[in-house]
Structure 1
Amino acid sequence: MARYSGNDFYCDVAIPRREPLDVVFEDRDVLAFHHTRPFWPVHIVVVPKIHVGSLLTLDDPVLVSRLLEVIQSVAADVVARHDGASVLTNLGDYQDSKHLHVHIRAGQPLRQVS
């Protein structure tokens, strides 16, 4: 697939599977998969399957709970396999795709930030 140039990769590409994904977890509400252009050796993204603009607009307590359960589970697996992990999300201009997504990562960056 050509490099995506829209503003919501998750709604436009990942959730409807317009590109193959290496899925780690999926249920009715949440999708977790290996990043399609990883920045770290282990780079998993967790997203709600409905559009949520960012952490700042997430206001459904049931979805918050489910999302955190999945993040905890995936992060625990990464820690068990790699002895550590970071969990992060971006907001505002730092958020390339305007859909809440949480990165679970381990290892040193694969390339320099430009």
Structure 2
Amino acid sequence: MATDTTIFGKIIRREVPADIVFEDEQLIAFRDIAPSAPVHVLFVPKTPIASLDAAQPAHAELLGRLMLAAAEYARTQGLAQDGYRVVVNCGPDAGQTVFQLHLHLLAGAPLGPFGKR
């Protein structure tokens, strides 16, 4: 699948509106339209990569920038003291619905244990 045709690609190209909270040359971050927590921001690389599984060694610096951007956003928004969660869904069974690599930053309330069924 061509990841530049996803909804995230359309947001990057400004074809679809989004509540953008961060952007630089390599990344964009915007509020999720169906939040799972009081703060739910998606961090997306502008380079089209379908999933974490599709990432290559050449993407290592970009992946690091993605993580650091999420952490910096959490700090600047006052979320780091109480804590936040960063999630990457990889594939349909993990809940990935948009096949463009992205991080979910979740915060703003106690999130409870992760992975319980």
User: Which category describes the TM-score, using the shorter chain as reference length?
Assistant: 0.7 to 0.9
In the alignment, is the contact (CA less than 8 A) between 2:74 and 2:80 conserved in 1? no
1:66 is the counterpart of 2:72: no
- Aligned residue number for residue 13 of structure 2: 16
C-alpha deviation, 1:108, in angstroms: 6.4
- Aligned residue number for residue 53 of structure 2: 56
- Aligned residue number for residue 3 of structure 1: none
Q: Cα deviation per residue 1:5-53 (whole Å; 9 max; x = unaligned)?
A: xx82211x22112222221110110001111222221110000011111
Q: Which runs of 5+ in 1 are unaligned?
A: 1-6, 110-114
**2-structure distance, mates of 1:89, 1:81:** 19
C-alpha deviation, 1:71, in angstroms: 1.8
Q: Give the CA RMSD over aligned residues.
A: 2.2
Comparing 54-63 with 90-99, greater Cα deviation is found at 54-63
- Aligned residue number for residue 96 of structure 1: 97
State percent identity of aligned pairs.
32
- Aligned residue number for residue 33 of structure 1: 30
Matched pairs, number: 102
SS of residue in 1 equivalent to 2:79:
helix
TM-score when normalising by structure 2? 0.74
- Aligned residue number for residue 83 of structure 1: 82
C-alpha deviation, 1:77, in angstroms: 3.4
**1-structure distance, mates of 2:27, 2:80:** 22
